Structure 1
């Protein structure tokens, strides 16, 4: 196996790129590492219509959103009357750079991941609200602490 050219990778279907990336990631050699790095650097979708749960970008987003830093930022945003994603979106931008965006439903996935975190932390959705200008996502869920069980 040799490292494919950028043109070859760009010409592949999203599923084809995902398959090549998956196979390359299992190789314990330079060709595998360079192939994965090339595919990741091109920021092209690895599935049609959005990210799959095993998409490397989705997994990276998941790590960022569930980090202690992002959880704290989400809670700070909610305390300030903003959607939780208002605290998380800037962190995703900082950590992921151009790999985070609206492409492949990236902001939608970020919102879903933030919702998982908020539910885990004992919050319930109360509506939707706009995000600040510094966010890539435009709207997201708003949250409040769940009422204690009686």
Structure 2
């Protein structure tokens, strides 16, 4: 198997898994807001701790695929440019999908107008953290695929 496809597989698993975990965290925050519970920094930190633990579990398999891809990189010879362009395009599309899913989650959560300003700040912080985490594997995959040529 081409190392590029290992990078694509790692990206798909990571983005889908992290996107699912992020949406779960946002829905938990939304439930707290709907039930008129005060979303404080402490409760938010608890949710973020759970979020990072779940991300660590989700990233185990993609890390193995990335390591395998980089180990195969030294011995693999690219026959055509299609072997690079197609996986690269798929990784970029998946990265945009990840960003889009986080933005949609944010919009759904902040659509409620009676959200306190502190809660909005906490949600925006989690959105930026989510974007960084969800795009880590696409960036690694792009670097790995481009190093094939």
TM-score computed with the length of structure 1 as normaliser: 0.32
Q: Higher strand share goes to which structure?
A: 1
Higher relative contact order (CA 8 A, sep 6+): 2
TM-score computed with the length of structure 2 as normaliser: 0.32
Q: Higher helix share goes to which structure?
A: 2
